[in-house]
Structure 1
Amino acid sequence: MSDQEFRDSDQVVASKDLLTTQVDGEVMAMSVDRGACYGLDPIGSRIWELVETPTTVGDLVTRLTSEYAVTPAQCAADVRALLAQLEAEGMIERE
């Protein structure tokens, strides 16, 4: 876990230690180590799909702004906020 803000060049990837499945188009993840379950809304689920393979934060923002009606600045802020939450829960890792 890191308190450092995410930069566009930071590469992130989903943790391999989670059990995940899709339920009604949303990702449900379970951490056996933490004894916790997580649910991601449709946009969070899309981000999860994109970080299943290593990708940079900048590439995430570019991809999402092409898929959703959002400004690059708002998208970047929202993506960084979600990544910080996912990292705090051990759901993603920086490479």
Structure 2
Amino acid sequence: MSQLAPDSVVSKDPSQIISRKVDDEALIIHLTSGSYYSLNAVGTRVWDSIDGTRTAEDVAKIIQSEYDAEFELIETEVMSLLTDLVEEGLVQVR
């Protein structure tokens, strides 16, 4: 597994996951492990921003443009969520 950094491109692996959006919540199933995940509204916005071309920093900038908070705080929180998603095998780092 590659180390996540702000300049890392993050992507989903559609062969390993199924995700659906229900209201403001993302529901994700990892097909190999069978594990089920749920993301809140902000986590869902992060999830929706992962398109395989954006870096972790790009995703944080998208979130920052939509919420009234310091970029450093948002970047820290986005990096934490992305790290969790990578560790769970839901997101890949390139």
Establish whether TM, by shorter chain, passes 0.5.
yes
Gap runs ≥5 in structure 2: none
TM-score (norm 2): 0.90
Q: Deviation of residue 48 (structure 1)?
A: 0.5
- Corresponding position of 1:38: 37
The offset of 1:25, in angstroms, is 1.9
Runs of at least 4 residues off by over 6 Å? none
**How many percent of aligned residue pairs carry the same amino acid?**
26
Unaligned runs of 5+ in 1: none
Q: Which residue of 1 is the match for residue 6 of structure 2?
A: 8
Distance in 1 between residues matched to 2:42 and 2:13, nearest whole Å: 18
TM-score computed with the length of structure 1 as normaliser: 0.89
Which residue pairs with 2:20 in the alignment? Answer: 21
Per-residue deviation, residues 18-66 of structure 1 (Å, max 9, x unmatched): 1111112211011120011000000000010000343101111211111
Letter in 2 for 1:14: K
Aligned residues: CA RMSD: 1.3
Counterparts of 1:52 and 1:18, CA distance in 2: 14
Q: Give the structure 2 partner of residue 63 of structure 1.
A: 62
